[in-house]
Amino acid sequence: MRSLVYILFIGLFTMSSFTGTAQCKNFAKRVCRLELAPYIHDGNYNAAILTEGEDAELFKTFYSGQDYRIAVCGTESLTKIEFQVMDVERRVLYSNVSNDYLPFWDFSIESTQQLIISVKVHNNPNSNNDDTLESGCVAIMFGLKLD
């Protein structure tokens, strides 16, 4: 009997995790992809559920001669999402903090290289309850400009 309860618990936990991930991917498709216009979406949906104070990194190769847009967005419960673009030696090429947390960056690259996109969810300064941290979906989307 205990093993049956244990198996049901594991099954429910797995299904709820999958549901959260699926909802986050749908959020990226429905809301975040719009931030790429007029750039063309690259077809990948990079999204995860993050909590205030958490960060995440994504490595991506960018090709010379292309114009790109990186767009980062999150659910309304997450007030400030910082993102940085760094080279493989972790030199910061761009930070949206210096642009009032602008949710996108347009750039072109001179030589093909792998870049690191780092996102961090800042704590909400207007939160009244210090015991509860907000969680929500954060998506990193990539677009290409076609001539």
pLDDT digits (tens, 9 = 90+) for 20-77: 567 898 999 888 898 999 999 999 999 999 999 999 999 999 999 999 999 999 998 8
| The architecture CATH gives domain 2-144 | Sandwich (2.60)
Residue of 16 and 123 predicted with greater confidence: 123
pTM: 0.79
Report the pLDDT value the prediction gives residue 20, as an integer from 0 to 100: 59
Rounded Cα distance between 77 and 103, Å, is: 15
pLDDT digits (tens, 9 = 90+) for 66-119: 999 999 999 988 988 999 999 999 999 999 999 999 999 999 999 999 999 999
**Is a pLDDT exceeding 60 seen at residue 7?**
no
Rounded Cα distance between 51 and 135, Å, is: 4
Nearest by Cα to 138 from 88, 59, 86, 71 = 71
Q: Is 69 buried (19+), middle (13-18) or exposed (0-12) by CB count in 10 A?
A: buried
CB atoms within 10 A of CB 80: 16
Q: 1 pLDDT band (50/70/90 cuts)?
A: low
